[in-house]
A and B are shown apart, each in its own frame.
Chain A
Amino acid sequence: MNSLLLLGAALLGSVMPSLVAQETSGSKSSDAKTADAKKDEAKKADPEPKWFAVVGGDVHTGTGGLLRGATVLAKDGVIESVGYSTDLPEGTEVLSARGLQVYPGLVAISASLAVSQGSRFLAEDDLHMRCCVDFGKNGHLHEGPLDAELDLLLADQAGLVDAQSDLRDAYDPFSSSLLMTLAVGITSAEQSGGALKLKRGEIDGVVMRERFLSSFTWTSASSGKTQLREKFAAAARYLREKREWDVRKDKVKDLPEPSKKGIEQKILSVLDGSARAKFNANDRDDLLGIARLAQEFGFRPVIEGCVEGWIVAEELGRAGAYAIVYPRQRRDKDENLVRAGGSSIENAAILHAHGVQVAIGPASNGIDLGGITGRDLLHLTVDADFAVRGGMTDAAALAGITTVPARILGIDHRVGTLEKGKDCDVIVTDGDVLHYETLVQYTVVAGKIAYDKQKELLFAHIRPRTPGDGKTSNSSGDSAPASAESQPPQR
């Protein structure tokens, strides 16, 4: 009897594993019992995995593929498979996305959200005395005379990510601006040079990376530029000497260790790859200078703004630059100069065509409700549209708000695309994510539904979802019927 069942299991395994599992556990032979005991042991050691699946949507993987009516299956918040005829394990929470589009969660670069603000002063009673520190765009907070002190701090605290991290300790998983961010499909965001996973209702595992981007100032004064170059040169020299010392110290006795005096830790981390240098520059000459510096010392710069990048796109491409472009940023040409200048609607497209990794951001980096077509994070996709208007492909524009910012933040091994092994950060939309009319129906963060349009007050009243459309269910029940009503807006 038992062997028959096992044979059955082998045959049916791929079709109905849950049924077979039930049958075998039902037959109480001694073998089954020991197997059960083993299972129990395994359970104790390691709690039951949580399965979650987005079923039946058109899955835009972000790696070039569009899988119509496919399933994204996640185990404990990590994608297990993306594809067809997936067997859903028993107890899988199923989100039906029939007739809907499925995309990787968006990544907001240069964000300044009110989700992780620390208060420098602890108020005695109430909030009146609370001083919120706003980590401004471009990390202005980190500039100026404080730099040296901060460098020490950074060096001290390196490697403490998520154990006792400032970002984590100030994270507010209930903040209303977090909800709005999720409502537009953003699941990861930069915060003070690090990256946050925008989890709702919990604070564990929200910090993906901390202090990865470090800001550098590219001043217009030539002395500043020379100084910066010298600092890089000194750091590079130190690294060379250190490497040599590491090799020779065992052979030669009393070999003096190269002095770290006067070497900026910030630059060392850029050169050894543990941090990324971010510049804020728009002027053609500045962009060229940064590209040269980067090529000379062998690092890939992140250039925010990059308004005149289209003029020197080739050089930036060769330097392996990342650009953070705000497509709606305008700048007039300096009429005193003969050469080309000013902003161009084609900026993002031209940069991309020359091999620059282009991330797209909104003009204002917070969440504000200052207008229906604002220029803040609520309209990240609209900003990507402006890049498309300038000639960028849809795929490149989507990459500009998913994979490229993920790369810049050093979190591309976890987010940005829908692939096996990546975090299950998924958005389900009612149309092309770049279409202005499209609304996010569900936002899933780490395999948990963090936003459901119909359940929150923000957009529920706009084209309300019909009941039965995209409802969640358990895999043991029937899957939700496909909705004939919802027609995705076509571009």
Chain B
Amino acid sequence: MLLTTLLLSIPTPADPPLPSLYALRVGRAETIAHGTIEHAVVLIEAGKIVTVGQDLEVERGIPVIELPGATLLPGLVDCYSRLGLDSDGSSGFEPQAKASVELYPDQKIWAEILELGVTTLGLYPAGSGIPGQGFVVKPHGATREEMLLRDPSYLLVHMRSDPGSKKFLRDGLEKADDYDEKEKKNVEKWDKDQEKKGAKKDDKKEEKKEEAKSFDPSPPQDKAKKERKGYVPSEPDEKAKPFVELRQDKLRALCTLSKAADYLHLLDVLREETFEFDLRVFLRDDVDFHHVMDKFGEKKLRIAMDPRITLQPNTRRERSYAMELAAAGGKPVFVPRTDSINGLKDWLRHVGEVVGAGLDRQVALRAVTLEPAQLLGLGDRLGSLEPGKDANFVLYDGDPLEVSTRILAVILEGELVHGEIDQ
């Protein structure tokens, strides 16, 4: 019913060729946004999802692909990878560096990645310290432009408990401070210039008013803003720019941590900063992130981690950090244990292990789709089955977290890019 009403609002499908509009009817769909739907129907047009629902009736004339045995999942999103890139990268303080210069479309690996259900790949710059900015691609396309989804995605900051890495971040923020100060002066100067101009114009008319104004020590802020219509802010220094953009919410930061203390040191550098950041933690058997889990939860942080159960240091006590983070109010994101084709092959099996150890299934599925998409700044376009989002799907012949499950097909922006579907 919903579908029919929606269909009315869709322009008549006369113009675009038939494959551009079709419906998928599957046994089960993991929508991520609204839980699991049995007997789901998804309507796709021009590479976007039009609607999703249970047992929807499809209007006559729209081709319906029937896959009653299949489970549909939004395309997987790997947000922290170096696949397909091979430079050694910079080291030290190179916040302006863009990893996207390394992107080279004509490689076999992109197809391999896509075949494993990964429709979005967040690539990060190689190097140490603050090595630069990452970018996002779809592993498909003949040119760089076709592949690129977003550039830059995040500023990568490797934070470790040592004076060196703390200094890098401090330096960057200081540069942004310098810029802000300079900009403040510029604005003041510009304001004065404008005032002069204005004063000249209506010199005679508003003489009295001007006098009244001059008594007012600080004109209201809103007014000052309005007056700055013609103002163009100066361009910050290339190394300061990423940090200025962080503060303006134009760029996000992804900070990597190796142990709990690193987080305290990160907070120690950030202090009063309010910009948003996500974390990437590396899980080994002796990690101690449980010490700061409540702090992670407090900020509702999104944290990319390996899907694995770790042991508490010096014990055989098992810990599931993804579960603890979710319980504390944070948002886990899963990244394959190893950044390789084999890692991608085992990815969902490892996620399944963590679910087996108690993590909520929906949280786990979210952690390989919507949350990584949000980490990459593409949460409004990818990661769930919702109207308006890209039609990126993986079709499985069973539960995606089950070991024996195979991928039937992969659909990227409405097009079949891997597998076979009987129409």
Once the chains bind, are A124 and B158 in contact (CB under 8 Å)?
yes
Which B residues from 257 to 277 make CB contacts under 8 A with A? 258-261, 264-265, 268
Assembly CA distance A457 to B170 (angstroms)? 38
- How long is the Cα–Cα vector from A126 to B158 in the complex, in angstroms? 10
User: Which residues of A have CB within 8 Å of B128?
Assistant: 121-124
Is residue B373 contacting chain A, with contact meaning CB distance below 8 A?
no
- Take A122-B91, A174-B259, A202-B264 as given contacts and tell me if A169 and B163 are in contact as well, using a CB distance cutoff of 8 Å: yes
CB-defined contacts of B165 to chain A, threshold 8 Å: 122
Q: Is A228 an interface residue (CB 8 A)?
A: no
Q: Which of B47-89 contact A (CB under 8 A)?
A: 89
Task: Give 1 or 0 for each of A161-182: 1 = CB within 8 Å of chain B CB.
Answer: 0001010011111111000000
List chain A residues, Cβ under 8 A from B45: none
Residues of B near A170 (CB, < 8 A) are 161-163
Assess whether B126 is in contact with A124, with CB atoms less than 8 Å apart. yes
Q: Complex formed: what's the CA distance from A325 to B314 in Å? A: 32
Interface majority SS (helix, strand, loop, mixed), chain A: loop
| A457 and B158 form a contact (CB under 8 A) | no
8 Å CB contact of B291 from A122, A125, A174: A174
By the criterion CB–CB under 8 Å, are A172 and B258 in contact? no
For residue A119, which residues in chain B have a CB less than 8 angstroms away from its CB?
160-162, 164
Residue of chain B at shortest CB distance from A175? B261
Q: Which of B163, B264, B268, B291 contacts A166 (CB 8 A)?
A: B163
Tell me which of A120, A122, A172, A175 contacts B158 (CB under 8 A): A122
Given A174-B260, A176-B314, A201-B291, A122 and B163 contact (CB-CB distance below 8 Å): no
A173 touches B163 (CB 8 A): no
Q: Which of B160, B161, B265, B314 has the most CB of A within 10 A?
A: B161
B258 touches A203 (CB 8 A): no
A440-470 contacts to B (CB < 8 Å): 457
Residue of B with least CB distance to A167: B163
Write out the residue numbers on chain B whose beta carbons fall within 8 Å of the beta carbon of A118: 161-164
Contact of B315 (CB < 8 Å), options: A126, A166, A457? A457
Complex-state Cα separation, A130 to B127, whole angstroms: 14
Residues of the B chain whose Cβ atoms lie less than 8 Å from the Cβ of A201: 291
Q: How far apart sit A355 and B127, CA to CA, in the bound complex (Å)?
A: 57
Q: Does B172 contact A (CB under 8 A)?
A: no
Q: Size range of the interface on B?
A: 20 to 34
Asked if A127 is at the interface (CB within 8 A of a chain B CB), the reply is yes
- Say yes or no: A169-B162 contact (C-beta < 8 A), given A121-B128, A126-B282, A457-B314: yes
- The answer to whether residues A169 and B166 also contact, given A125-B282, A176-B313, A203-B264 and a CB cut-off of 8 A, is yes
Q: Are the CB atoms of B260 and A122 closer together than 8 Å?
A: no
> Within the assembled complex, what's the spacing in Å between the Cα atoms of A351 and B129?
50
Within the complex, the shortest CB–CB distance from A178 to chain B, in Å, comes to 10
A166 to B258, CA, bound (A): 19
**A174 to B158, Cβ gap below 8 A?**
no
Contact with A along B115-130 (1 / 0, CB 8 A): 0000000000011110
Whole-angstrom distance between the Cβ of A336 and the nearest chain B Cβ: 49
Closest CB in chain A relative to B62 CB, distance in Å: 48
Tell me the B279-322 residues at the A interface (CB within 8 Å).
Answer: 282, 284, 288, 291-292, 313-315
Q: Which B residues lie within 8 Å of A125 (CB)?
A: 256, 282
A107 to B260, CA, bound (A): 26
Asked, given contacts A126-B258, A203-B268, whether A169 binds B161 with beta carbons under 8 Å apart, the answer is yes
Report chain B residues within 8 Å CB of A202: 264
Assess whether A122 is in contact with B160, with CB atoms less than 8 Å apart.
yes
B292 to chain A, nearest CB (A): 8
Q: Which residues of B contact A122 (CB under 8 A)?
A: 91, 128-129, 158, 160, 162, 164-165
Known contacts A122-B128, A174-B259, A176-B313; A127/B162 CB under 8 A: no
Q: Which residues of A sit under 8 angstroms from B264, Cβ to Cβ?
A: 173, 202-203
- Closest B-chain residue to A173, C-beta based? B261
Interface string of A405-446 (1 = CB under 8 A from B): 000000000000000000000000000000000000000000
CA A90 to CA B163, docked complex, whole Å: 41
Q: Are A172 and B160 in contact (CB under 8 A)?
A: no
The B136-186 residues at the A interface (CB cut-off 8 A) are 158, 160-167, 170
Tell me, rounded to whole Å, the shortest Cβ–Cβ distance linking A142 to chain B: 17
- The listed residue with most B CB atoms (<10 A of its CB), out of A121, A125, A164, A166, is A125
B261: A residues at CB distance < 8 A = 171-175, 203
Sorted from nearest, which 8 A-B pairs have the closest CB atoms?
Answer: A122-B128, A172-B261, A169-B163, A118-B162, A174-B291, A174-B260, A166-B163, A119-B162
Apart from the given pairs A125-B256, A169-B166, A173-B261, 4 other A-B contacts in the complex at a CB distance below 8 Å? A123-B158, A124-B89, A172-B261, A174-B292
Between-chain CB contacts (< 8 Å), 30 pairs: A118-B161, A119-B160, A119-B161, A121-B128, A122-B129, A124-B89, A124-B127, A124-B128, A127-B258, A130-B160, A130-B258, A166-B163, A169-B161, A169-B166, A170-B161, A170-B162, A170-B163, A171-B161, A171-B261, A172-B259, A173-B264, A174-B259, A174-B260, A174-B261, A174-B288, A176-B313, A201-B291, A202-B264, A203-B264, A203-B265
